[in-house]
Amino acid sequence: MSKHTLIVIGNGMVGHHFLEQLTATAAADRFHIKVFGEEKLLAYDRVHLSEYFGGSTHADLAMGTAEWYAENHIDLHLGEQVTAIDRENQTITTPMGDYAYDELVLATGSYPFVPPIKGNEHPHCLVYRTLEDLDRIRASAAGVKTGVVVGGGLLGLEAANALKSLGVNAHVVEFAPRLMPVQLDTDGGALLKRKIEELGVQVHTEKATTEIVDGEHARLRMNFSDDSHLETDLIVFSAGIRPQDTLARASGLDIGERGGIVINNQCTTSDPHIHAIGECALWSERIFGLVAPGYTMARTLAAALNGDREAAFTGADMSTKLKLLGVDVGSIGDAHAQTPGARNIRFNDEKVGHYRRMVISEDGKTLLGAILVGDNSHYDTLLQYALNDITLPDNPETLILPESQGGAPALGPDALPETASICSCHNVTKGDICGAIDAGCSDLASVKGETKASTGCGGCAALLKNVVDSELEKRGVEVSKDLCEHFPYSRQELFHLVKVNGIRTFHTLIRDHGKGHGCDICKPTVASILATCWNEHILATDHVPLQDTNDTFMANMQKNGTYSIVPRIPGGEITPDKLIVLGEVAKEYNLYTKITGGQRVDLFGATLSELPAIWEKLIAAGFETGHAYGKSLRTVKSCVGSTWCRYGVQDSVGMAIFLENRYKGLRSPHKIKMAVSGCTRECAEAQSKDIGVIATENGWNLYVCGNGGMRPRHADLFATDLSDEALIRTIDRVLMFYVRTADRLQRTSVWMENLEGGLDYLKQVVLEDSLGLGAELEEHMEGLVGTYQCEWKTAVADPEKRKRFREFVNAPEKTDPVQQWTTERDQRRPVLESETA
C-alpha cells in the first residue's frame, strides 16, 4: 500500500503536539509526514517565552528534538515559509519548490496585532511573540532608560515584566479604562493597576496613541489623543493577536468575519482534505488564544485521522491563572456575568490588596465564573466547582471570604469527582491519576511522567500534588516529612519542641523525642536550632560533636584537609592597617590569598593546628570571625554610597556595617547574604541577595528572598521608603520568621515559595502582623543580638577548647604527610592528584 502524504504547516506548540499525538497512533504508518515551519527553530514552549530573558535557552524551551523527528520519519523543513496552497492540484508552494499533499494541516498560530498608528514602522517598534522578537527587544533595550508596552492585556503585562527585567523603566499604555479588560472587571483591574505600579511599572489607561515621532530626550515620542505625550526608547506592541489565516484566505477556504479559519467539530475546514488546529482555527465563531484548547484540537484531529468517528472538539475552558509581575490574577468562566440572571458576590480588601468575585447562577447552586486579583489561593477550588458543576454550599460567599471571617477551607481533593479535570493542557482527570497510582506510580514524579499532567503550562502543579498526596495517603503510602531516621519531625516541628520544652541539649531532645543516636543530618540541624534558641557557644562541650567539621573548627575545610579563614570585614570596609595585618599573617603562615565575591579576603591552606595561633593574631588586630563556615549571615556587601558616589542618596556603607554587626552570628537553616546599594543603580547587586536594601530619596527599599548560586532568583520588592528603624524592624521579623519556620538547608527563596500564600502571606505576617507574632520575633532577635560573642575570641582564650585543634593528639609537631605543596602565580597551593601520578 502506498503511503499518503500529510503536510503540516507551522511548527509551533500545537503543530508539534499534533505530531506527538499522531505518531502515537496506527495512522502514523499510513502517512509520509512533512512539516514546514517559518521560524528557524524547532517548536518551543511559547507559554514560557519570557523565561528566555531569565536565562533559559531555546534548548530549555524546545518541545522536541531533531532526533525525535528523524526517528519518527518526519521531514522537517525549518525556516521554510509556505507561500501558497493550490487546492485543485493538492500542492503547496515554498521558496524551495512545490510539494504534493493528500491531507493538509494548518497550524499557523497567530501574529501580534500592530495598531495602524503613524510611525509604527520605526525600527525600535517591536512585538513579543517569537524568540527572534525577544532577541530584537534585548538588543533595542541595551543601555536605554525607558520602554513602553502598548496593550495592557495578559501578554502586554508579561512584556512589561520582561522590559523591567532588562533594566529599563517600563510603562504600559492601555486604550481601555482598565488592565486586562477581557478577564477582569473594574475593581479587579484597578487593584491590579495599583499593585503593578507599586512594582515600578507605570500604567496609563484610557490612552489612545495618535502618532509616533522622533523624541527629544529618547529615541521616540508617543503623542496621545488627549494632547499628552510620553518619550521612550522602544515600543513593544502587544495589542492582541490575530489568527494567521493568510494562506487559507488566499486559497478560498471559509474564513470568519473577523478572521480565523472556520473548522467543524473534527477540526476540518471547508475543504475536506484541509484541517486547522490551534490559534489559527475558528470554531463556533470563537478563537482560542490559549494552548490547552489547541492541544485538545490536536488530539481530536489525530484521533479523527486515525479513524475515530466519535472524536470531536466541543469547545474549551478559557479560564486562566497567572502570575503577572508577581501579582496573582485568575479569571474563570463567565467572569463578566453575561449569563442571564447571573448574580455576583464580591470580596474586596483594599488594605491587603485582595479582590475576589464569584458569578453564580440565578438559583445560587452553580458557579458560573470568577475573578481573582492579588491571591490565587482560591482558584483551584473555584475552578473545580465551575468545571464539574459541583453544587455550591448554602452560603457560597464562604468560598471567597478569608478564613478568619468564616471562609470555608479549600475543596479537598476527596470532594472531586473522578471526572474532574486536573490538568487541562494534557487532559488528565482525577480518574487518570488514580489509575496511574494503581498501576504502580508511587510518587509525584512518576505520576507526572506517566500522565504528563503538569508538564504543560504548569498551572495545575499545586492541585496535582494535592490529589497525588491524598490518593497515596488513602492507599497507605506515607508521605514522609521526617528529618531522618532518628526524628519523625520536620525542622520546624523540632524548633517548636525545643523552644516550647526549653530543651538545651541534643541528648535530651533525642531521648525524649527521637530514637537512636543521631547522624550527620539531624545533629547539625539540631545544633542550629539550639543556637537560635539559646545562643550558647558552639564549642560548648555538649555541642561540639553535633557540628559539621567547619562549625567545629570554625573554618572551611578544603579538599586536602586544610582550612580557609575568612575574617569579618563588615560592609567590605577595611582600614589600610588591618589590610596590612591580613597580609602579614598570610605571609607568616604561607596562606594562599584570594578576594571573595562578598568583599572579604579568604586565606587558604592553614592546618588544623595553626588555626588558633592565626586567630590570636587576627583578633589582636581587631578582627572577628566571618562565619564563612556556618549556616548563618555571611556578608553584607555594599557600594560606597552617598559619601563618595555622585549618584548616592544614602550612606549605604554605614547601613551595611550596621546590618552586618547586628545579624552576625545568627544561626539559620542555610547561609544568608545581604547587600546595600546607595541608589537605584544597584552597584552592590542587592537584588540577588536574601536581604537586599536599595537607597531611595526618602529612605530604603527592601527586597527579600533572592539568591545567586545554582538556581539564581531575583529578590522580591517587599517594602518601600522605609526609615532606618522601620527597615531594621522589618528585617528582624523576616529573618526570625525564616529561622523559625524554614526547613533544613532551605534558602529564603525556596522557603518563601513554599509558604502557603507566598510573598503576600509573608507581607501579611511581617508588615501587617497578621499572626500577632511581630513583637515576639523582634524580641527574640534583640536577645540574640545581645548575646553575640565572637566564637574565635572565646575559643583562643580557653585552653580546653584549644586542645581540639591538635592535628594528631599524640604528635603535636607532626605535619600531615599527604599535604603536598607547590607554587603557582607566586603563591603556595596544594599539589593536585593529576600532578602526583
Partner 1 sequence: MKARTSWNVVCKVEDLVPESGVAVWTEDGPVAVFYLPHRLPALFAISHTDPFSGSNVLARGITGDIKGEPVVASPLYKQHFSLITGQCLEDETVKIKTYPVLLDGDQIRLEVPVNKQETAAA
Positions touching ligand FAD (CB under 6 A) are 9-15, 36-39, 46-47, 49-50, 81-82, 107-109, 128-129, 155, 158, 244, 247, 278-279, 289-292, 294, 457
Contact partners, residue 174, CB within 8 Å, separation at least 6: 151, 152, 156, 181, 203, 204, 205, 206, 207
Report the chain's C-alpha Rg in angstroms: 31
**In the bound complex, what is the minimum distance in angstroms from residue 485's beta carbon to ligand FAD?**
42
Instruction: Choose the one of ligand SF4, ligand FAD, partner 1, none that binds residue 647, judging by a C-beta under 5 to 8 angstroms depending on kind.
Output: ligand SF4
Pick the closer one to ligand FAD by CB: 64 or 278.
278
**In the bound complex, what is the minimum distance in angstroms from residue 643's beta carbon to ligand SF4?**
9
Instruction: Choose the one of ligand SF4, ligand FAD, partner 1, none that binds residue 387, judging by a C-beta under 5 to 8 angstroms depending on kind.
Output: none
What is the secondary structure of 171-225 as a DSSP string? EEE-SSSSSSTTT--HHHHHHHHHHHHHTT-EEE-S--EEEEEE-SSSSEEEEET
d(CA 542, CA 805): 17
**In the bound complex, what is the minimum distance in angstroms from residue 681's beta carbon to ligand SF4?**
4
- Annotate 389-415 with b (16+ C-beta within 10 A) or e (fewer): ebebeeebbbbbbeeeeeebebbebee
**In the bound complex, what is the minimum distance in angstroms from residue 443's beta carbon to partner 1?**
22
Pick the closer one to ligand SF4 by CB: 153 or 678.
678
Tell me if 807 contacts partner 1 by CB under 8 A.
yes
Q: Using DSSP, state whether 148 is helix, strand or coil.
A: strand
Tell me if 380 contacts ligand SF4 by CB under 6 A.
no
Is the Cβ–Cβ distance between 176 and 152 less than 8 Å?
yes
Tell me if 566 contacts ligand SF4 by CB under 6 A.
no
Tell me if 654 contacts ligand SF4 by CB under 6 A.
no
Is the Cβ–Cβ distance between 271 and 88 less than 8 Å?
no
Q: Which of residues 494-523 bind partner 1 (CB under 8 A)?
A: 516-520, 522-523
Pick the closer one to ligand FES by CB: 115 or 458.
458
Instruction: Choose the one of ligand SF4, ligand FES, ligand FAD, none that binds residue 625, judging by a C-beta under 5 to 8 angstroms depending on kind.
Output: none
d(CA 6, CA 3): 9
**In the bound complex, what is the minimum distance in angstroms from residue 321's beta carbon to ligand FES?**
9
Is the Cβ–Cβ distance between 776 and 700 less than 8 Å?
no
Enter the C-alpha cell of residue 138. Answer: 534585548
Pick the closer one to ligand SF4 by CB: 316 or 645.
645
Considering only the stretches 77-85, 121-129, 314-322, 799-807, report the one whose residues sit in contact with partner 1 under the rule CB under 8 A: 799-807
Residues at the interface with ligand FES (CB under 6 A): 423-425, 453-460
Query: Applying CB under 8 A, which of residues 384, 547, 701, 746 lies at the interface with partner 1?
Result: 547
Considering only the stretches 358-366, 551-559, 594-602, 658-666, report the one whose residues sit in contact with partner 1 under the rule CB under 8 A: 551-559
> What number of chain residues touch partner 1 (CB under 8 A)?
40
Number of H helices, E strands in the chain: 26, 39
**In the bound complex, what is the minimum distance in angstroms from residue 811's beta carbon to partner 1?**
4
Pick the closer one to ligand FAD by CB: 39 or 375.
39
d(CA 480, CA 166): 41
d(CA 680, CA 693): 10
d(CA 101, CA 97): 13
**In the bound complex, what is the minimum distance in angstroms from residue 710's beta carbon to ligand SF4?**
9
**In the bound complex, what is the minimum distance in angstroms from residue 571's beta carbon to ligand SF4?**
12
Instruction: Choose the one of ligand SF4, partner 1, ligand FAD, none that binds residue 809, judging by a C-beta under 5 to 8 angstroms depending on kind.
Output: partner 1
d(CA 820, CA 837): 13
For the window 545-564, what string marks contact with ligand SF4 as x by the rule CB under 6 A? Answer: --------------------
* Closest-approach residue to ligand SF4 (CB): 678
Helix axes 611-620, 576-588, angle to 10 degrees: 160
Enter the C-alpha cell of residue 370. Answer: 470568577
Tell me if 804 contacts partner 1 by CB under 8 A.
yes
Angle at 131 between CA 129 and CA 135, to 5 degrees: 110
Query: Applying CB under 8 A, which of residues 102, 308, 349, 548 lies at the interface with partner 1?
Result: 548
Angle at 428 between CA 427 and CA 433, to 5 degrees: 175
Is the Cβ–Cβ distance between 384 and 462 less than 8 Å?
no
Tell me if 806 contacts partner 1 by CB under 8 A.
yes
Tell me if 482 contacts partner 1 by CB under 8 A.
no
Tell me if 648 contacts ligand SF4 by CB under 6 A.
yes
Is the Cβ–Cβ distance between 5 and 32 less than 8 Å?
yes
Query: Applying CB under 6 A, which of residues 335, 653, 683, 742 lies at the interface with ligand SF4?
Result: 683
Tell me if 651 contacts ligand SF4 by CB under 6 A.
no
- Annotate 730-762 with b (16+ C-beta within 10 A) or e (fewer): bbbbbbbbbbbbbbbebbbbbbbeebeebbbbb
Instruction: Choose the one of ligand FES, ligand SF4, partner 1, none that binds residue 645, judging by a C-beta under 5 to 8 angstroms depending on kind.
Output: ligand SF4
Secondary structure string (H, E, C) spanning 446-515: HHHHHHCCCCCCCCCHHHHHHHHHHHHHHCCCCCCCCCECCECCCHHHHHHHHHHHCCCCHHHHHHHHCC
Instruction: Choose the one of ligand FAD, ligand SF4, ligand FES, none that binds residue 279, judging by a C-beta under 5 to 8 angstroms depending on kind.
Output: ligand FAD
Instruction: Choose the one of partner 1, ligand SF4, ligand FES, none that binds residue 469, judging by a C-beta under 5 to 8 angstroms depending on kind.
Output: none
Tell me if 798 contacts partner 1 by CB under 8 A.
no
- Residue ranges binding ligand SF4 (CB under 6 A): 639-641, 645, 647-648, 652, 677-679, 681-683
